[in-house]
Amino acid sequence: MYLDNSATTQVSEEVFEEMKPFFTEEFGNPSTLYGIGRESKKALDLARKRVADAINAKPEEIIFTSGGSESDNLAIKGIAFKLSKKGKHIITTNIEHPAVKNTLGFLESLDFKVTYLPVNEEGIISVEDLKEAITDETILITIMHANNELGTIQPIEEIGQIAREKGIKFHTDAVQSFGKIEVDVEKLNVDLLSLSSHKINGPKGVGALYIKKGTRVVPLIHGGGQEKGIRSGTENVPGIVGFGKACQ
């Protein structure tokens, strides 16, 4: 009996069936203009719509990545590098997933300052502590939605409201909450939100970053300009198709 579904899940039969043709007959490159490529492009568009619909976002606000870790890296470094002239202070918690924690550790080595908010005995941060931590230099708040070890859920809506009032970008890692509780980017007041496919019965090695319209990030992978130039590289079509189906 497998009981570690927070570590990963089995790909569901329906998801696998939907992916299969994209390993064989439907192998086209979505960036090419002829028939077979166009079919792949259509499949990407459908998957993007399915992911967007699942979090109440618009399809153009979804950037496909290689998973939750890359989405966290893109959100955090992408904003940090974009806004470093404005300030170099970031606020987070001391219970983040390593994909967030170690990204912030790397930024500290580049002279960014990070405040790690503690959690109470119930695993929740204090919104008062957060307000006190904000300075004129704060460019980003990154606080996870549901914790991968504790299952605790942070008051994202309220944190998002504070961030928005102060004009500070707000990212949440929603990898663990997605598919279990409602994840609605409008209600949560977030600018960036990370998702991973393999935690919701989709394949491994694929995920997405929601980037609210008007929010700019510096790309981490440069190349052929795929994903609006934010994440270059020929898309993982079968993986993305599977992720879309899992979201649906």
Ligand X SMILES: *Cc1c(COP(=O)(O)O)cnc(C)c1O
φ, ψ of residue 35 to 5 degrees: the values are -40, -60
| Contact mark string toward ligand X, 71..90, x via CB under 6 A | -x------------------
Kindly identify the residues of this chain, within the stretch 88-147, that bind ligand X according to CB under 6 A: 97, 99, 144
Give min distance, CB of 33 to ligand X, in A. Answer: 32
* Alpha carbon distance 239, 248 (integer Å): 14
Task: Using CB atoms within 10 Å of the CB of residue 43, give its burial: 0 to 12 exposed, 13 to 18 middle, 19+ buried.
Answer: buried
Which of 30, 56, 41 is CA-nearest to residue 247?
Answer: 56
CA dihedral (22, 27, 31, 37) in degrees, to 10, reads -100
Q: Which is nearer to ligand X, 151 or 225 (CB)?
A: 151
Number of chain positions touching ligand X (CB under 6 A): 15
Residue among 207, 219, 238, 244 that touches ligand X (CB under 6 A):
207
Q: Find all residues with CB under 8 Å of 233, minimum gap 6, and list them.
A: 221, 223, 224, 226
| Contact mark string toward ligand X, 177..196, x via CB under 6 A | -------------------x
On whether the CB atoms of residues 49 and 60 are closer than 8 A, the answer is: no
Residue among 28, 30, 40, 69 that touches ligand X (CB under 6 A):
69
Residue among 9, 22, 50, 67 that touches ligand X (CB under 6 A):
67
By CB under 6 A, name the binding residues for ligand X. Answer: 67-69, 72, 97, 99, 144, 148, 173, 175-176, 196, 198-199, 207
